[in-house]
Amino acid sequence: MQLTNTLTMKKEDIIPHQPGIIKMYTCGPTVYGYAHIGNLRSYLMEDVLEKALRYEGFQVQRAMNITDVGHLTSDADTGEDKMLKGAKREHKSVLELADFYTQAFFQDCQKLNIRRPDIVVPATGCISDFIEMVSALLDKGFAYLSGGNVYFDTSKLENYYVFGNQNAEDLAVGVREGVESDTNKRSKTDFVLWFTKSKFEDQELKWDSPWGLGYPGWHIECSAISVKNLGEYLDIHCGGIDNAFPHHTNEIAQSEAYLGHPWCKYWFHILHLNDVGGKISKSKGAKLTVSLLEEKGYDPLCYRLFCLQSHYRKPLVFSFESLDNAAHAYGKLTARISALAKEGEPDTSAAKPWQEKYLAALCNDVNTSQALTVLYDMLKSDLDDATKRFLVADFDQVLSLDLLDAAERLGAAQSPAVPEELAREIEALIEKRAQARKAKDWAAADAIRDELAARRVVLKDTPNGVEWHIEG
C-alpha cells in the first residue's frame, strides 16, 4: 500500500512497525449534532482504507474516540464546549446529547456500509488516562500551569510545525478573527491540556484532578486513547484535513513529548466535501445529512459510490445533480450484474489477474475511481458469468456497495426473468432515451418510450436511475 503522507506530502510505502499488523487511529465525531455528509466522506474513505489494507492481507487494529467533552467552538482555547452548547440548544444533559448523536452517527455509518472500528471509546470514559498523560507532561517539563489551566509548552519542542504543507495562513486558524486569544498562554501556539478555569462556568461535566475540578482539552483525548489502545507506535492516523492543524499538530507534540520517541509514521487526510457555498460544516448547522438524502428518495449507497468516484486527496463538490449521476451509475451497474447468470463455478485462475489489477488500484494511494474502472472493465471482459459474479463479491469487500444484493433485488423486481441479450438491448434503449432527454430531444425520447412500450417494457424514473420490468 502506498499513501500520500501529510508529514512529507509524498506517496510512501506503508511499512508497519510490527510486520503484518497495521495500527490505525481515527478522530471520531464530536457528538453534538448529526454528522453531515462531509464528515461522512472522511469516515467513508477511512473505511475504504481499512478494508483495502485487509484486502491486501494486513491485520488491522483500529481505534476511534467519541468526542463528548472538551472540543471548543474555537481553536484558541477560549470558546464554549460544543457539547455544552448543543445540550443547551436541545434542552438535554450533555450525556443524553452524546448518547443520542453517537447512536445517530453509527446508524448513518451502517447505512453507508462504514464498518465500526474494533475499538470505539468515548472521551468521558478515559479521564484518568488523560490525567495520567498530563501529569507526565508536567513532570517532564513539557507543560505549565497558568491561570488555573494546564498548558502544553510548545517552546520545549525542537519541531512543532511538522506538517510539510503548513504555512502562516494555515497556522492563523488558531487565532481567527473574532476569537480572543487566551492571555494565560506563554506563546500563542501553546494549548490547553486541562481546564479548570474557563469563562463558561456552567461546564456541565467536570472531574477531580491534581489541578482542581475541571475537564480535558480536546487534543489530549486522541493521544491518550491511541497510546492506551494501540500502543506506543502508531502506523496510520486518519482525519479530515481541517484537523491537520491545530489538532493533529498538537497530538504529535504531546504524544512524542510523553513517549520520548517518534509516534505516528503516516498521516492520512481526507480533503473536504464542499457545496457550491464552500465547506460544509457542522457548526454552521449543515442540513446535508444521510436522512435528508433518504427523504429525497436516494439510496445512501449512491452517496458511497459518489465518494468512491473521486480521489480522497482532492476536494469534492457536492450537488444533487452529481448525486443523480452517481445514482444513475449505480442503477446501471446493478442492472448489469443482475443480468449475469447464476449457475456455474468461478474460474479462480482467470479471476486472479483481475484481483491483482484491482489491488494495484487500491494500493496506488487508495485510487477508488481506478478500482471502479477495473470493476467495469472486468464486467465488459469475456470472463464467464460465474467468474464475474465471484469477482463482484470479491471487489465488494472493499467497495461495500452491496452490489450482489442490489442486483438480486433488481432481478426480483424484473421477474419473470428476462434473457440477458434482451435485457442488454432494453438497457441500451433506456440509455439512448436518457441521452435524448439530456439533449432535450423530446420527440426522440418519446419515440423510444413508445418502442419500449410496444415491447411491454414499463419504465419508472427513480432517483437511483430508471428501473424497468416487462409487463406480465
* 242 part of the interface to ligand AMP, by CB under 6 A: yes
Residue 109 corresponds to which amino acid? Answer: C
Q: Which of 16, 38, 174, 465 binds ligand AMP (CB under 6 A)?
A: 38
In the complex, the smallest distance separating the C-beta of residue 231 from Zn ion, rounded to whole angstroms, is 17
**Contacting residues toward Zn ion, per CB under 5 A:** 27, 222
216 binds, among ligand AMP, Zn ion, none (CB under 5 to 8 A by kind): none
Instruction: Give the whole-angstrom CA distance, residue 348 versus residue 316.
Output: 37
Judged by CB under 6 A, the chain residues 254 through 313 that form the site for ligand AMP are 270, 272-273, 279-282
Using Cβ positions, the residue closest to ligand AMP within the complex turns out to be 240
- 240 Cβ contact list (under 8 Å, min separation 6): 27, 38, 39, 42, 269, 270, 272
Taking the least distance from each CB to Zn ion, the nearer of 27 and 327 is: 27
Taking the least distance from each CB to ligand AMP, the nearer of 22 and 45 is: 45
In the complex, the smallest distance separating the C-beta of residue 18 from Zn ion, rounded to whole angstroms, is 22
Q: What is the DSSP string of 111-134?
A: HTTPPPPSEEEEGGG-HHHHHHHH
In the complex, the smallest distance separating the C-beta of residue 310 from ligand AMP, rounded to whole angstroms, is 12
In the complex, the smallest distance separating the C-beta of residue 218 from Zn ion, rounded to whole angstroms, is 7
Instruction: Give the whole-angstrom CA distance, residue 119 versus residue 125.
Output: 13
What is the phi/psi pair of residue 426, to 5°? -65, -45
452 binds, among Zn ion, ligand AMP, none (CB under 5 to 8 A by kind): none
Asked if residues 468 and 334 have their Cβ atoms less than 8 Å apart, the reply is: no
Taking the least distance from each CB to Zn ion, the nearer of 244 and 410 is: 244
* 27 part of the interface to ligand AMP, by CB under 6 A: yes
**Number of residues forming the site for ligand AMP (CB under 6 A):** 19
Asked if residues 385 and 346 have their Cβ atoms less than 8 Å apart, the reply is: no
Which helix (H) or strand (E) segment holds residue 457: the answer is strand 457-462
Taking the least distance from each CB to ligand AMP, the nearer of 82 and 388 is: 82
Taking the least distance from each CB to ligand AMP, the nearer of 104 and 127 is: 104
* 240 part of the interface to ligand AMP, by CB under 6 A: yes
**Which residues pair with residue 273 across a beta bridge?**
316
Taking the least distance from each CB to Zn ion, the nearer of 223 and 414 is: 223
Q: Which of 4, 5, 6, 30 binds ligand AMP (CB under 6 A)?
A: 30
> Is the four-CA dihedral 385, 387, 393, 398 of positive or negative sign?
negative
Burial class (CB in 10 A: 0-12, 13-18, 19+), 12: middle
The DSSP symbol for 153 reads -
Greatest distance between any 2 Cα atoms in the chain:
83
In the complex, the smallest distance separating the C-beta of residue 327 from ligand AMP, rounded to whole angstroms, is 20
Residue of 249, 400, 298 lying closest to 37 (CA atoms) = 298
Judged by CB under 6 A, the chain residues 63 through 92 that form the site for ligand AMP are 67
Taking the least distance from each CB to ligand AMP, the nearer of 198 and 243 is: 243
Instruction: Give the whole-angstrom CA distance, residue 464 versus residue 413.
Output: 14
What torsion do the CA atoms of 376, 379, 380, 385 make, to the nearest 10 degrees?
A: 180
In the complex, the smallest distance separating the C-beta of residue 273 from Zn ion, rounded to whole angstroms, is 19
222 binds, among Zn ion, ligand AMP, none (CB under 5 to 8 A by kind): Zn ion
Please state the length of the chain.
472
* 239 part of the interface to ligand AMP, by CB under 6 A: yes
Instruction: Give the whole-angstrom CA distance, residue 114 versus residue 304.
Output: 9
In the complex, the smallest distance separating the C-beta of residue 271 from ligand AMP, rounded to whole angstroms, is 7
Taking the least distance from each CB to ligand AMP, the nearer of 23 and 272 is: 272
Pairing between strand 278-279 and 273-275? antiparallel
In the complex, the smallest distance separating the C-beta of residue 54 from ligand AMP, rounded to whole angstroms, is 21
111 binds, among ligand AMP, Zn ion, none (CB under 5 to 8 A by kind): none
Instruction: Give the whole-angstrom CA distance, residue 97 versus residue 68.
Output: 9
Contact residues toward ligand AMP (CB under 6 A) are 27, 29-30, 38-39, 41-42, 67, 239-240, 242-243, 270, 272-273, 279-282
